[in-house]
Amino acid sequence: MKRVNRTSTTEIHCDCAARPPTIMLLVTLGIVLALVDSANAYDRAHIRVVGGNSVCSGTVEVFFGRHWSAICDPEWSLKDAQVACRELGCGLAIVSSHITPSGLGPRSVLLKTESCSGHEPTLVQCSQFKTWQPIQENTCAEHNIAGVQCSGKLEKPMLFLLSPYTAYEPGEAVRFSCVAPSSFYTIVDFHLFKSGVGTPLVTQGTGSSQNKAELTLTDMDLSHQGSYTCLYTVQIGLAFSSPESNPISISVVDLHTPQIWYNTSMESPPGRVIQGQNLNITCYTQSWYPGGSFQLRLIRFNGTVRHSVPALRSSFTFSFPNAQAVLEGYYLCLYRVQMGGRTFTSRESQPLPISIRDPEPLLSPMVVSWLVSAMTFVVAICMILIIVWFRCKKNDKPTELERDSRTCVDNTYVALPIK
């Protein structure tokens, strides 16, 4: 026996050596592929349905190894059928059935040894298969061949905006309508989702066989701004969801009351502007949106004046050179923006009173009063001195009688006493 083996080995060796190296490589590769194919047959299983009235109904077959084989499962249920329909891309399982195994060959049936929960993506992930031997087992002698009727793919719904705008203020409500395509399965719920949020914001049951529902978001705030989609769920043994609908974006506009202030020369008292100087009034908002505008309103005794400018930034300064009396009054500021087909306007700021005053004199009234008093005093003193001087001057001159009574003696007048 040993000698025969050695001879046989030698003959094979000599025969292979005589062949070209390429043939040896092909033979070796074929053997390896056969072994790998046998070992990994379970991992390369595929699924199809045959014999039905559509590509989504009929007998369930699995390509296991190198053959298409029917599935024999006495406990084939709707949960197993759901997995098969999901793997086929045929939507939901409507019916799970057993088919008579007439005409099946001796190696065309696989025994399915475990049941599925209904959530697995493929049948091979929730069950084990082995070849059915009709001589040894009569399990599939009856109506135990797996069959299925799937609904087809669930089509995505359409999302519509029932409210007239796409932008809202905090506290308002927005209404959507989710419409599913017509089908023969009953829709259980409609769900409204916001992008980035895993749970639905609104869920609406149909209550009857309806293919649409109104979904309303109430008491909106800044967290509700974003993109929204809807989907629907159907119940066929298990709940299944449709693909998401088209997206619709919603904006929430929250305008704060603007602030207002003015800046003039440092010499100006609070609330007052010197006539002829520059008046600068600044409006500022914390909630700035592209495309907004500032409006400055001046309330005067004879009417109201408005100034409006684009808000390229969060603040704007209105400049009025050479301030005059017409700029006197109460100034108020507001912020306005158009979004989503509507106009949003903030509350007006606190009123800013501005008065225009004449330039201040060089001397204060007190100084002027002191100067006037001093000048009056000086004038009075001068008048008194003048009067005294005139009186003294008058006393120094001789009277007319004295001049007449004088006698010239030696060229000298001698005043004679008057008797």
pLDDT tens-digit readout, 10-61: 333 444 444 455 656 554 555 544 444 443 434 445 889 888 877 888 888 8
Looking at 19-23, 76-80, 203-207, 332-336, which range is the least confident one?
Answer: 19-23
**3-class DSSP state of 55:** coil
Domain span(s) for CATH 2.60.40.10 in the chain: 158-252, 259-357
pLDDT at 364 over 90: no
Q: What are phi and psi of 396, to 5 degrees?
A: -75, -25
**pLDDT value for 311:** 93
Beta strand extents in 55-153 (DSSP E only):
57-64, 67-72, 93-99, 109-112, 129-131, 145-150
Q: Which of 255, 200, 252 is nearest to 226 (CA)?
A: 252
> For residues 82 and 74, what is the distance between their CA atoms, to the nearest angstrom?
16
Note whether 132 and 140 are within 8 A (CB): yes
Residue 35's contacts (CB-CB under 8 Å, 6 or more residues apart) are none
> For residues 168 and 250, what is the distance between their CA atoms, to the nearest angstrom?
8
pLDDT tens-digit readout, 136-156: 556 676 567 889 988 777 889
> For residues 278 and 43, what is the distance between their CA atoms, to the nearest angstrom?
85
**3-class DSSP state of 85:** helix
Dump the DSSP string for 196-254: T-SS-SEEEE-SSS-SEEEEEE-S--GGG-EEEEEEEEEEESEEEEPPP---EEEEE--
Tokens coding 23: 């043939």
Q: What is the length of the chain?
A: 419
Q: What are phi and psi of 167, to 5 degrees?
A: -130, 140
- Identity (one letter) of the amino acid at 130? K
For 158-252, which CATH class?
mainly beta
**pLDDT value for 21:** 55
* Architecture of the 259-357 domain: Sandwich (2.60)
Tally: H helices and E strands in the chain: 5, 27
Residue 228's contacts (CB-CB under 8 Å, 6 or more residues apart) are 159, 176, 192, 193, 194, 195, 247, 248, 249, 250
Note whether 243 and 156 are within 8 A (CB): yes
pLDDT tens-digit readout, 224-263: 999 999 999 887 666 778 889 999 999 999 999 999 998 7
pLDDT at 169 over 60: yes
Note whether 228 and 252 are within 8 A (CB): no
pLDDT at 9 over 60: no
pTM equals 0.59
Determine whether domain 45-150 maps to CATH 3.30.1360.20.
no
Rounded mean pLDDT, 259-268: 74
Note whether 147 and 98 are within 8 A (CB): yes
pLDDT at 222 over 50: yes
Q: Which is more confidently placed, 54 or 312?
A: 312
Tokens coding 296: 């400055």
